[in-house]
Structure 1
Amino acid sequence: MDISEVSEIQVSRKTVLAGAGVGVAAAALAACSSGSDSSSSSSSSAESSSAAAGAALTKTGDVPVGSGVIVGKTVVTQPTAGEFKAFSAVCTHSGCLVNKVADGTIDCPCHGSKFSLDGQVVNGPAKKPLEPVNITVQGESIVQA
């Protein structure tokens, strides 16, 4: 192998590494900007939720009193015994999905917004409550209305 072949291999390697770096940066940027701004969002609760109308979201026994569960793109809470509420799991700040219901709040991992079990903003930067989802309790099932 002469010196010209070594240069070609190094350039080729640099090109590959640079291309990989651009791909990683583009993926990271896409992940950060995948949400929509709540001021321009016009999606309805039916579009935001994970189940079609009439479909069971979860069982009443799976939703702890004073807490809740996340089912796809829907959060189902039970603020007090026998009272069930549901909301879109899409944070109203930047469109990230909330990922946890703990210590009496529904939490968004992206910027720290927290919502009450009634969907109201407890801690920003979100300014608007979570979008309600209509549900009914049918026996032991919580069904999207």
Structure 2
Amino acid sequence: MLGAAGVAACGLALAGCSGQDAKAQPNLKGKVIAKTADVPVGGGTVVEDLQVVVTQPTKGVYMAFSSVCTHKGCTVSAPKDNVIRCACHGSEFAADSGKATKGPAGAPLASFKVRVEGDGIVVA
């Protein structure tokens, strides 16, 4: 089964909470970003070195978003109960769309279109 997360945001400039300089997110197209076994239904995983959070909001549907909060650039945590949370300031995002559901963040997380190849989740 395939899961789609919308438009790829491979060139998005991102900054860390610590006030680090902005850096470009690497081009992830064609890259295996997670294994299906590592992404629980209703939850997900954060791939820190790629700055991506991968979710499985419903069985067999996989989504991927930037793991950088749109409020101040902190890294979000792995989703639980289909909610992606940012511990820095309490923002929450929907694991099925990346939409901000609780502020202070107002903008959605940047999304990546993904597909399943074998046991891997690949950026389309």
Output the TM-score relative to the length of structure 2. 0.75
Q: How far does residue 58 in structure 1 lie from its aligned partner after superposition? A: 1.0
Q: Which secondary structure state, in structure 2, belongs to the residue aligned with residue 100 of structure 1?
A: coil
Out of 96, 99, 102, the residue aligned to residue 77 of structure 2 is 99
Out of 104, 117, 121, the residue aligned to residue 138 of structure 1 is 117
For the pair 1:48 / 2:30, whether they are aligned, the reply is no
Question: What residue in structure 2 maps to residue 123 of structure 1?
Answer: 102
- Give the distance between the partners of 2:52 and 2:77, measured in 1 at CA: 11
Bigger RCO (CA 8 Å, 6+ sep): 2
Of Structure 1 and Structure 2, which has the larger fraction of its residues in strand?
Answer: 2
Question: What residue in structure 2 maps to residue 78 of structure 1?
Answer: 56
Question: What residue in structure 2 maps to residue 60 of structure 1?
Answer: 36
Q: Which secondary structure state, in structure 2, belongs to the residue aligned with residue 102 of structure 1?
A: coil
Structure 1 unaligned regions, length at least 5: 1-29, 37-42
Q: Deviations over 1:60-113 (max 9, x none)?
A: 111101111111210110111111110000101111111232232111111110
Distance 1:48 1:66, change over 3 A: same
CA RMSD of aligned residues (A): 2.3
| Equivalenced residues, count | 106
**For residue 111 of structure 2, what is the amino acid of its counterpart?**
P
- Give the distance between the partners of 1:35 and 1:125, measured in 2 at CA: 22
- Give the distance between the partners of 1:77 and 1:106, measured in 2 at CA: 9
Q: Indicate conservation of the 8 Å contact 1:48/1:89, yes or no.
A: no
What's the % identity of the aligned pairs? Answer: 44
Of Structure 1 and Structure 2, which has the larger fraction of its residues in helix?
Answer: 1
